[in-house]
């Protein structure tokens, strides 16, 4: 592990880029070298806001950094990341990783050849509520995830499957350690020229079933995960956030704070256990950035590497193609 702070810059001074710049510019373990963006007005505004240095070109940023956070529209990810990787710089790429799986695999090969790190911005991997859920639920048979948001023009250059659902695709691929057997999907365009709402039914070879629902034309934000396994049911609300756990057995996942009541059923009297978990309060983006900084400094593998980003993209594109076929 090097004692020298990694030099990190940001490409992209838009909505998401702003949050990356906020954290990186004051990070105690980072030598922040500046920001590049083609939009000079956005670049000036964000540099003035956070009192950081603008960078005149990608080449200037390449020459001054060890790693870069790429927070730009998806269709630019490949060209920008390729240029940095070819100069042996580590890259953080916001999700979705690239436009195509071939582009993602190309970046992975370049990174491997040059000994570089690729981390992909699937931020939910660093959500403390989801990490607590994964500790509590160890063998789900059925997973249902809703991710809904009010309409915003920003982000509609890609379909909702790549904008929102890709987060949940990455989560289920991590939670279910089994190849996918089949995918069914439906969706529709309403407010934009790309798919605005989508539903996917994914069956894994081990029998686990996942239903994913994403929409960016909802009245309110909804982020809910429901899991079912033998004698246990969980409801996770990421907006509160909290996890509610119901069980017919006093399982190891319950603590001493659980509640219970007797319930009459068709098969006799049963005891229903209930407990609510409130996770620790952590900034998921900061945790994600901390992981990237740590990986650069220690030359270790990120929690969400290029292969994970490529796999989530592959499944998202399969879902998207099935929706287009049904139009």
Instruction: Kindly state the percentage of the chain with pLDDT values over 90.
Output: 81
Among 3-12, 138-147, 263-272, 294-303, which is the least confidently predicted range? 263-272
> What tokens does 200 get?
């996917």
> Does the pLDDT value for residue 261 go beyond 90?
no
Residue 326 is predicted with a pLDDT of: 55
CATH class, range 125-283: alpha beta
Q: What are the start and end residues of each CATH 3.30.360.10 domain in the chain?
A: 125-283
Whether 32 contacts 52, CB under 8 Å: yes
Look at residue 9 and give its three-state secondary structure.
strand
Q: Is 137 or 96 the better-scoring residue by pLDDT?
A: 96
Distance between CA atoms of 158 and 275, rounded to whole angstroms?
A: 39
Name the pTM for this structure. 0.93
What's the pLDDT tens digit per position in 279-322?
888 999 999 999 999 999 999 999 999 999 999 999 999 999 99
For CA atoms 304, 308, 313, 319, give the dihedral sign.
Answer: negative
Q: What are the start and end residues of each CATH 3.40.50.720 domain in the chain?
A: 7-124+284-315
Question: What is the CATH architecture assignment of 7-124+284-315?
Answer: 3-Layer(aba) Sandwich (3.40)
């Amino acid at each position: 592990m090097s004692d020298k702070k990694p030099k990190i810059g940001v490409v992209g001074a838009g909505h998401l880029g702003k949050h990356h710049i906020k954290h990186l510019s004051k990070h105690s373990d980072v030598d922040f070298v500046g920001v590049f963006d083609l939009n000079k007005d956005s670049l000036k505004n964000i540099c003035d806001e956070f009192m950081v240095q603008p960078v005149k070109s990608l080449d200037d940023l390449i020459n001054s950094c060890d790693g870069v956070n790429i927070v730009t529209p998806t269709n630019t990810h490949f060209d920008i990341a390729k240029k940095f990787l070819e100069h042996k710089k580590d890259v953080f790429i916001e999700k979705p990783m690239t436009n195509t799986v071939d582009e993602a695999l190309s970046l992975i090969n370049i990174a491997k050849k040059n000994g570089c790190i690729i981390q992909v911005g699937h931020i939910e991997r660093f959500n403390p509520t989801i990490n607590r859920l994964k500790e509590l639920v160890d063998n789900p048979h059925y997973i249902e995830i809703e991710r809904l948001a009010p309409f915003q023009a920003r982000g509609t250059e890609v379909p909702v499957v790549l904008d929102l659902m890709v987060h949940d695709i990455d989560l289920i691929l991590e939670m279910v350690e089994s190849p996918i057997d089949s995918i069914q999907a439906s969706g529709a365009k309403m407010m934009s020229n790309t798919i605005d709402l989508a539903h996917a039914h994914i069956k894994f070879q081990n029998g686990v079933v996942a239903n994913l629902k994403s929409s960016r034309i909802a009245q309110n934000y909804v982020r809910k995960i429901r899991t079912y396994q033998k004698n246990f049911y969980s409801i996770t609300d990421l907006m509160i956030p909290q996890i509610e756990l119901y069980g017919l057995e006093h399982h190891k996942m319950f603590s001493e704070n659980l509640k219970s009541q007797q319930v009459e059923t068709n098969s006799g009297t049963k005891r229903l256990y209930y407990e609510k978990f409130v996770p620790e309060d952590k900034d998921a983006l900061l945790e994600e950035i901390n992981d990237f900084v740590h990986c650069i400094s220690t030359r270790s593998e990120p929690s969400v590497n290029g292969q994970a980003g490529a796999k989530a993209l592959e499944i998202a594109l399969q879902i998207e193609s099935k929706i287009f076929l049904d139009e």
